[in-house]
Structure 1
Amino acid sequence: MSWFLLFFSSILVVCRSNVCPCERPELCQQIRGERDFEVFVFDVGGKTWKSYNWSMVTTVATFGKYDTELMCYAHSKGARVVLKGDVHLPDIVDQDNRTAWIREKVELSKSQFMDGINIDIEQAVADGSPEYHALTALVKETTDIFHREIPGSQVSFDVAWSPKCIDKRCYDYITIAESCDLLFVMSYDEQSQIMGDCIAMANAPLTQTLNAYDQYLSMNIDPMKLVMGVPWYGYDYPCLNLSEEGICSIAKVPFRGAPCSDAAGRQKPYEWLMKQVNISLSGRLWDDKQKAPYFNYKDQKGDIHQVWYDDPQSICPKADSVRSKGLRGIGMWNGNILDYSDEPVARQQTAAMWNALLGC
């Protein structure tokens, strides 16, 4: 579809969708107020959002199908609901294409009574390339237009756990941070590029995670622009070999210049983790160097797996550092993957994960 047709179709959507779907018309008004502490939730669809801890949630980024019920409910709780914004970067090197993309997102946000946009790119970008400059311009222009067209709207941008060209994402972090309202720091998938031994490790080791915030802050990025993202999932690694010391050797799966990566494993939701650890070979173990839990289990074929994840014990000190470093807040990927059933143990585990976002 051409950019012109995309823009024209978005105008039609606005014309068709300007009737408030909420029971109370005031719930379709965009959220303008700021909270003292940001709790940023990614929602990937379904209805588990009904069980979120809404006393904490300030922003929901909708990465699933748009849900008018979610928008109405979030607004009733004073929480923003923002669009997902992604685009193939070579397409927006051209200024006209870039403007058309932004206009389409603004009109879509208006038609759905939303409160901004979360720009999630994650593409490899070479320093100084046309895409590098286009991305920087995209964030500034998106923020300018959203703020003008939807007063009080929020524009956030997702960045890797470190600004050191992780996964070849060599962005202009300083200018991007100055341009938008928030940087959501994805403090997970920290083994996406394994340069040393090809072994299973923590998704987000504590020291490595916190040192990366010092890297952002050393660039004179305002700490109130940074939201810490924590994982509510883990990685399940099939072990080629499990040593007597418990080290799990993993397959070599290259990624963006690294010989090994966490792509050798599979992401698993917290709900699965809590059930699997109970039937594992080892039970829950703790790595005191990486400050993370893990366990070993045997699959139906008899193969050994090692699973690394985060739980309240590993998340709490990260959440504490959000306060001590003066960051804007915290969030997670993603809000849907806890066990929101009425089973008593699940309810306790789920409540503990939400509470961990506020620290120990």
Structure 2
Amino acid sequence: MHLTSLHSLLMNWESLFVVPELITLSFFAVLFQVFVFDVGGKDWKFYDWSQITTVVTFGKYDPELMCFAHSKGARVVLKGDTSVKKMVDPVVRAAWINQQVDLAKRQYMDGINLDIEQHVMYSSAEYYALTNLVKEATEAFHKEIPGSQVTFDVPWTPDYIDRCYNYSGITHACDFIFVMSYDEQSERWSNCIVGANAPYNRTLTGYNNYIRLGINPKKLVMGVPWYGYDYTCLSLSMTHVCSFAKIPFGGPPCSDAAGRQVPYKIIMKQINNSLSGILWDQEEKAPYFEYKDSHGALHQVWFDNPRSISLKAAFVKERGLRGIGMWNANCLDYSNGSAAREQTQAMWEALNPE
């Protein structure tokens, strides 16, 4: 983008702040959210912008992305992370919030996604500080940037092993929460047997747990994984049972730390050289495959594909959730090959099944 074009777009965007109604009633008048995490680079040029409502920037600030997203009617928001222990001090907390608001203004951005994944004990000073942080950040952003959006990332279930947050209070304070419905094998008390990254029934149980806390489904956005886990099998049975090494997480002896995260674009290239082709687990409603590496070790790879994501996306609509999103959009193959284009299009389309 030429600097003159960028300057023109920035000036047009800045003018919207003079008339907040343009933002709240027209520019961002979208109920169903498609919430996208971008980790940098230029993949965003090939995203399905007909669906996207918000892009969270986890990579380096890109003014070209910001301008393009705004031209498509989508928000671009900051990533927000800080030490919860430091946020106990109200003065430090207020200063941090002001810094984020000022940064968003300078970069013509539309809010912040608070991605704070830290150990917090129930009723501790950090427990109350985190809730106050979300409340005060939301108030500050809404006041200083009309039409802005403040969201908070939460684990797949509110009874997650080490995050005793005030989930109902946090959800009430912000615009909505993004439920990270993945890495669900991070706490396993049973045998170290490989399973899906985001098994269907377990994923849905997480949402029911949030709703039982009194949280409105319209304040829940489902997060799905566009990556999988590759596990080295200590043993692999004829019935596809793969046992893996014990690597504890918190208290449980088994966790997905024994596996390696692999983006969808790499997984789809591996399948052609697999021993099994794509298999389907009917109980977990997830695909997987098996292969042998160059050292002769057997592996099992579990992931999500359009079939498994479509099932979850259907639940989003049936249960009346606020929307759906993914970690992360850069995991797909945006190259020019016909196979890559078909695979990538299918993943985007799975977010909004007919």
Per the normalisation by structure 2, the TM-score is 0.94
Give the C-alpha shift of residue 280 in structure 1: 0.4
1:35-114 alignment runs, 5 A limit = 35-114=30-109
Q: Is the 8 A contact 1:167 1:192 kept in 2?
A: no
Match of 1:27 in 2: 13
1:222-301 alignment runs, 5 A limit = 222-301=216-295
- Which segments of structure 1 move beyond 3 Å, counting only runs of 4 or more? 19-23, 27-32
1:205 aligns with 2:199: yes
Q: Matches of 1:252 and 1:317 in 2, distance apart? A: 31
Specify which of 130, 146, 149 is matched with residue 151 of structure 1: 146
Unaligned segments of structure 1, at least 5 residues? 1-18
Give the C-alpha shift of residue 340 in structure 1: 0.5
One-letter identity of the residue aligned with 2:12: E
One-letter identity of the residue aligned with 2:143: R
Q: Matches of 1:328 and 1:170 in 2, distance apart? A: 23
Any idea what SS the aligned residue of 1:235 has? strand
The aligned length equals: 341
Residue by residue over 1:222-241, the C-alpha shift from the partner in whole angstroms, topping out at 9 and shown as x without a partner, is 11111000000000001111
1:343-358 alignment runs, 5 A limit = 343-358=337-352
Give the C-alpha shift of residue 190 in structure 1: 0.4
Match of 2:20 in 1: none
Give the C-alpha shift of residue 27 in structure 1: 3.3
Match of 1:167 in 2: 161
Residue by residue over 1:272-327, the C-alpha shift from the partner in whole angstroms, topping out at 9 and shown as x without a partner, is 01000111011100000000000001111111110000001100110001111111
Specify which of 106, 110, 113 is matched with residue 115 of structure 1: 110
Q: Is the 8 A contact 1:27 1:76 kept in 2?
A: no
Unaligned segments of structure 2, at least 5 residues? 18-22
Q: State the Cα RMSD in Å.
A: 1.3
One-letter identity of the residue aligned with 2:128: H
Give the C-alpha shift of residue 21 in structure 1: 4.0
Give the C-alpha shift of residue 256 in structure 1: 1.7
Q: Matches of 1:204 and 1:235 in 2, distance apart? A: 11
Give the C-alpha shift of residue 34 in structure 1: 2.8
Report which stretch shifted further, 238-247 or 152-161: 238-247
Report which stretch shifted further, 237-246 or 273-282: 237-246
Q: Matches of 1:235 and 1:118 in 2, distance apart? A: 25
Give the C-alpha shift of residue 36 in structure 1: 2.3
Residue by residue over 1:68-89, the C-alpha shift from the partner in whole angstroms, topping out at 9 and shown as x without a partner, is 0000000000100000000011
Compared with structure 1, are the counterparts of its residues 258 and 34 closer, same or farther at alpha carbon in structure 2 (3 Å cutoff)?
A: farther
Any idea what SS the aligned residue of 1:156 has? strand
One-letter identity of the residue aligned with 1:42: F
Q: Matches of 1:218 and 1:335 in 2, distance apart? A: 30
Per the normalisation by structure 1, the TM-score is 0.93
Q: Is the 8 A contact 1:22 1:72 kept in 2?
A: no
One-letter identity of the residue aligned with 2:40: G
Give the C-alpha shift of residue 194 in structure 1: 1.1
Q: Matches of 2:8 and 2:299 in 1, distance apart? A: 50
Report which stretch shifted further, 75-84 or 22-31: 22-31
One-letter identity of the residue aligned with 2:13: L
Match of 1:8 in 2: none
Q: Matches of 1:199 and 1:126 in 2, distance apart? A: 30
